[in-house]
Chains A and B, each alone.
Chain A
Amino acid sequence: MVLFQICNMMNVAIELKDVSVSYLHNKKGIYSVKDFFTKGGLVSPFDKKVVLKDINLKIFEGESLGILGKNGEGKSTLLRTIAGIMKPDKGECIVNVEISPLLALGVGLELELTGLENIKIYMALSGRYSRNSIKKDIDAIADFSELSIEQLKLPIKMYSTGMLSRLAFSTVMTTEPKLLMIDEVLAVGDKGFQEKCKKRIHQIKNSGTTILFVSHNPDEVLEVCERGICLRDGRIIYDGTSNGAVNEYNKLFA
């Protein structure tokens, strides 16, 4: 009861009301113009495959929510819907906070370009680029990633996997968004860097940022989140503490 009252006092950051989201599913196997005519594409080329069904979810400001579920149960689709990239067929998705646009790690990296060029493009993509702060931001990113200036001047196709994820993660981690969405990205870099990332996430969390955290690693979810939900077949089968969600998640594999 007490918990309920506290929740009522907090501001709702995101609210989903009866949201259903579907993919266009190419069931008839139409991949060419020839198929289009021979397999009846003229009538209805695509079928809808419902990924999220009647999702009701309230996320409060400053809350960190862990999202668990097997592969293909709709976790990423849920994040995409909140980010406004996918439109719900039914229901409403109300977002009251500014969103960091990142969903997955390393998106938009161009292998042929250098680390520095990539940082600039990333900043422009995420809407953070301004002439005044660019130098400061680049320094912050370079600093966090622990990559040297010589390394940042190399085309990133020459980077090792670990270096790549350092770069990608640093660009995200140096922001101070109101809502941070993390899609299975913590397990990057060596042990030292992982620790650093976790520390940074806690720092972001303590500054009052709402965090949506998708992970397959229950320990990470327990460490970062107080609340957790578990998805199955596009429905929320559990909504409560992160401990409960992890239990439910483990049951899926029992």
Chain B
Amino acid sequence: MKSRTSYLVYFLILKNLQLKYKHSILGFVWSFLHPLFYLLVFNFVFSKAFSQIQHYSLFVISGLIFWIYFSGSCNSLSQTFIRNAQLLKSLNVNKILYPISEQGAELVSFLSGFLLFAFLMLYLGMTINISFLWIIPIILLFTIFSFSLGLILGSLNVFFRDIGILWNTLNPALFYLSPIAFSIDIIPKEYQFYFKLNPLYHFFFIIRNVLYEGTAPSYIQLFYCLLITILTLLLALFVYRKTRNGFISNL
């Protein structure tokens, strides 16, 4: 039974990856070109405005690749049950395997993109030292966080299709609140607190610690992220368990 489940997840990941790049000439290269294009735009628009940020390109790209991973995951997970409606109605397998394999496909394409970007970031001035290894647990936490949020969106989206639309609308706002394109230091002190209410802020803080500053993240920040991840995961499992029996009736 265990091997059956792992085979199933493996094949669903494979299928999701195949579907993602089918019929695009550049295929996988897009996962590299997409952030690169954003980087060029930000460099052009903001590098003068935020000239106090050293190595502005590195600053942007380190946040940007994680942001694209995050928003891509949430986007596809929010649709996962709807897209697999037919399978849900006909196969007696654990429904949570669909979002898991969706997240798996996103993770595979993120990691392969990340390897390429590591070279670009080295060129842009990233320093490699032992603290770089912190990126591994950070990616793990970030993946679980994205998965949890996506699972909540996906479960609710079955019942109210405007959850997906609402998410797409809020997405750009979250991008600027996280903040990806600028540093929180340019925000007046009295408003910084509100930025810190955004869970993503804490993730991008430790990501920048490692990739941009080349230092290990502080334990207190790591603890915040761990706490956020666990709480979101628990909430997601709660929402999923409450709603899963209604999926078939509403798809």
Let me know if B90 and A46 touch, CB within 8 A.
no
Interface residues on B, range: 20 to 34
> Measured between C-beta atoms, what is the minimum distance from B100 to chain A in Å?
14
Question: Does B196 reach chain A (CB closer than 8 Å)?
Answer: no
B115 at the A interface (CB under 8 A): no
- Chain B contacts of A31 at CB under 8 A? 160-161
Residues in A136-166 with C-beta less than 8 Å from chain B: 155
Chain B residues whose C-beta falls within 8 Å of the C-beta of A83 in the assembled complex: 90, 92
A183 to B32, CA, bound (A): 45
Q: Which of B7, B23, B159, B245 contacts A112 (CB 8 A)?
A: B23
How many inter-chain contacts with C-beta < 8 Å in the A-B complex? 89
Using a CB-CB cutoff of 8 Å, which residues 130-182 of chain B contact chain A? 159-163, 166
Are the CB atoms of B249 and A23 closer together than 8 Å?
yes
Residue from B11, B12, B23, B86 in contact with A107 in the complex, judged by beta carbons closer than 8 Å: B86
Cβ of A103 within 8 Å of any chain B Cβ, yes or no, is: yes
CA distance A124 to B9 in the complex (A): 9
Q: How far is the CB of A244 from chain B (nearest CB, A)?
A: 30
Q: A103 near B160 (CB under 8 angstroms)?
A: no
| In the bound complex, CA of A169 to CA of B161 (Å) | 33
CB contact list, A15-30 vs B, under 8 A:
23-26, 30
Cβ of B55 under 8 Å from chain A: no
User: Is B41's beta carbon under 8 Å from chain A?
Assistant: no
Which of A36, A85, A120 meets B92, CB within 8 Å?
Answer: A85
The size bracket of the interface on A is 35 or more
Q: Main SS of chain A's interface residues?
A: loop
> Complex formed: what's the CA distance from A68 to B233 in Å?
45
Q: Are A26 and B250 in contact (CB under 8 A)?
A: yes
Whose C-beta in chain A lies nearest to the C-beta of B19?
Answer: A112
Taking a contact as CB atoms closer than 8 A, the residue among A85, A101, A113, A120 that contacts B19 in the complex is A113
- Give the residue among B10, B15, B18 with the most A Cβ atoms within 10 A: B15
Q: What are the 9 closest A-B residue pairs judged by CB atoms, nearest first? A: A124-B11, A24-B249, A103-B90, A84-B92, A107-B90, A23-B249, A32-B162, A24-B246, A112-B22
- List residues of B whose CB falls within 8 A of some A CB: 4, 7-8, 10-12, 15, 18-19, 22-23, 86-93, 159-163, 166, 245-246, 248-250
- Which A residues fall within an 8 A CB radius of B? 23-26, 30-34, 36, 45-46, 80, 83-87, 99, 101-104, 107-108, 110, 112-113, 117, 120-121, 124-127, 129, 155
What are 30 of the A-B contact pairs (CB < 8 Å)?
A25-B249, A31-B160, A32-B161, A33-B162, A33-B163, A46-B246, A83-B92, A84-B92, A85-B89, A85-B91, A85-B248, A101-B92, A101-B93, A103-B89, A103-B90, A104-B86, A107-B86, A107-B87, A107-B90, A110-B15, A112-B22, A112-B23, A113-B15, A117-B15, A117-B18, A124-B11, A124-B12, A125-B8, A125-B91, A129-B7
